[in-house]
Structure 1
């Protein structure tokens, strides 16, 4: 069963930017697209551990700031010649608030 929690106002996330959400289960990067859609992904790039929350958002993709790997925010899959995957989590906007499905987060301790 989904358990959506309010993590803040949509306006708190820059357009084509991200905010880092620290949870007991780990860090999640919550992204806002140019058309105000939100996506939530693991914050750690599988290539060299780069912080995706500091990456560049373009369309529904994010580029890792370390070595330019590009991930589809819909699926978490690396694009192009790169191979890898990051976890994705249900997120939505209701009444100008960003909601994240806390029940879908991995069960691990925070670093």
Structure 2
């Protein structure tokens, strides 16, 4: 596998917040929870296309800012009565820096 791609410092993402990463296939939202866990999912809600990076982070979930759909940040699955999912991306944190797997980005670009 190629080297992981550095996205920046963990502290650049506020606690219970998110930042977007532009890729050739669209935006990826990178979230930081209150427990300093980091997750990456596609930034577009499957319901109405809401920007998930602008949603409310609670626990390991995010609520879409448009119509309150809730997604599990670990699995990408919609919660409760809502149906659907968003793509998740492998991510890791080392020495305070966030990295994303490049092979996943290449795979998405090829689809």
User: TM-score under structure 2 normalisation?
Assistant: 0.93
How big is the alpha-carbon RMSD for the aligned residues of Structure 1 and Structure 2?
1.5
Residues of 2 paired with 1:26 and 1:41: CA distance?
11
1:3 CA displacement: 4.1
Structure 1 residue aligned with 2:65: 65
The within-5 A match list for 1:11-30 is 11-30=11-30
CA displacement, residues 35-58 of structure 1 (integer Å, 9 cap, x when unaligned): 111000000000000000000000
Structure 2 residue aligned with 1:37: 37
Structure 1 residue aligned with 2:49: 49
Structure 2 residue aligned with 1:6: 6
1:24 CA displacement: 1.7
Residues of 2 paired with 1:71 and 1:2: CA distance?
29
Structure 2 residue aligned with 1:107: 109
1:10 CA displacement: 0.2
Q: Which runs of 5+ in 1 are unaligned?
A: none
> Residues 3 and 103 of structure 1 are in contact (CA less than 8 Å); yes or no, is this contact kept in structure 2?
no
- Structure number with higher helix proportion: 2
Structure 1 residue aligned with 2:94: 94
**Runs of 4+ off more than 6 Å:** none
Q: Report the number of matched residues.
A: 109
1:26 CA displacement: 1.6
Q: Which runs of 5+ in 2 are unaligned?
A: none
Structure with larger RCO (C-alpha < 8 A, sep 6+):
1
User: TM-score under structure 1 normalisation?
Assistant: 0.93
